[in-house]
Amino acid sequence: MTPRDVVVAEVRRLFGDGLAELAERLSDLGESDGPELSGLDPARTDEVLRDGTAGLAKLALGGPDELTAAEVTGLEAIIALEGRPALFIQGGDFFGAPPLWHGLNDHRDAIRSSIAGVGRVDLTGHDGLDWVGTGFLAGPDAIITNRHVAAAFARSGPDGWRFSPGLSASLDFNHEQGAIEPLSFALTGIVGVHEQCDLAVLAIAPVGGAGQALPSPLPIATSAPGTVTDRPVYVVGYPGWDGTRNDAAEMHRIFSGVYEVKRLQPGLITSAPDGSRTFTHDCSTLGGNSGSPVIDLATHQVVGLHFGGAYLAANDAIPLWLLADDELLRAAGINFV
């Protein structure tokens, strides 16, 4: 499929028969009340909305072949605006949920608790990286992230995994848009790295800078969350520039260079695990979301560990409920409920 075909298919999947109604609503937005496009430069909001709205109107009439390049870009922005947003977080709370996701507001307190337990993995002593991904508090003194995240600052040896010489890491639960003060806790060791899954458990210091206490660990599901496919979920993490796997120009148009800050990213599980240790979801993740929890909107239990994917394509996660009896996670005191 061409990039245009991918965008058109995604618009139709997300909005179905409501394209004309969505185009009408967006065309009624004035210059002063146009919503924020997940970090899009406000100076370009009106232009992109006009192009995207024109594209919606053409699709509503069944004419994808008539779309201009600008209208395809506008449609992609509308996906990020209305369908699969990456919402900014400030003060431990999210804002700007579009109509399709107004139901998030009914879960605000529980989502705030989830937000509090997710942090950015920061590095000290690395030649090329200041940070490497996302992790979340999953036990009284343990975090879960991806193995490939841990591999950026640790290595395997005869005595197991250890920090690489000269490197140290920490988890900062802040790094919000506009945040100044960190909420940082040292990562003190490698509890274990899973042999089959892209998963690592790291030890975290119980007290951070200025004597801050750790937040509460997130609850981890021990069974599949009811009907898995098409189930609403959300990811909390730190999407970063990811031009090696995604179109850099399109990413910049949508995110306008606003990366590496904490975001709430809602979506659906798109396929259940079938003889494998993975499921897919359609939250708008980017590089930097590696290690993010995938959280069930109904129960606010962590059902998955995001480990990879491509923007506007399939995103992969490990179904943590299948690891409820895993020796490594049980020994680490992971908060299965």
Reported confidence tier of residue 28, pLDDT bands at 50, 70, 90:
confident
Higher pLDDT, 180 or 298: 298
> What is the reported pLDDT for 291?
98
Strand partners, 90: 93
Q: Which residue has the tokens 């490594």?
A: 328
Closest C-alpha among 192, 267, 199 to residue 231? 267
Do 128 and 71 lie in one domain? The reply is no
Residue 199 lies in a domain: yes
> What is the reported pLDDT for 32?
45
3-state secondary structure of 193: strand
Give the tokens for residue 290. Answer: 């590696």
Give the type of residue at 91.
Answer: G
Reported confidence tier of residue 38, pLDDT bands at 50, 70, 90:
very low
Residue 77 lies in a domain: yes
Residue 193 lies in a domain: yes
Residue 288 lies in a domain: no
**CATH number of the domain bearing residue 187:** 2.40.10.10
Within 95-167, strands assigned E span 118-124, 131-139, 142-145, 154-157, 160-163
Angle, alpha carbons 135-267-216 (nearest 5°)? 35
Domain count, the chain: 2
Reported confidence tier of residue 217, pLDDT bands at 50, 70, 90:
very high
Cβ contacts of 324 within 8 Å, gap of 6 or more = 220, 221, 222, 223, 336
Torsion sign (Cα): 27, 31, 35, 38? positive
Most confident of the ranges 57-66, 130-139, 247-256: 130-139
Least trusted range by pLDDT, from 93-102, 154-163, 174-183, 241-250? 241-250
Domain boundary among 158, 188, 211: 211
Do 136 and 207 lie in one domain? The reply is yes
What is the Cα–Cα distance from 122 to 35, expressed in whole angstroms?
A: 32
Structural domain of residue 33, as residue ranges? 3-83
> What is the reported pLDDT for 40?
52
Are 165 and 175 within 8 A, CB to CB?
A: no
Residue 20 lies in a domain: yes
Span 133-145, average pLDDT: 97
Q: What is the pLDDT of residues 280-296, one digit of tens each?
A: 999 988 889 999 999 99
Do 199 and 152 lie in one domain? The reply is yes
Do 79 and 129 lie in one domain? The reply is no
Do 125 and 78 lie in one domain? The reply is no
Residue 280 lies in a domain: no
> What is the reported pLDDT for 39?
47
Span 162-180, average pLDDT: 93
Do 63 and 124 lie in one domain? The reply is no
pTM listed for this prediction: 0.91
Residue 190 lies in a domain: yes
Residue 231 lies in a domain: no
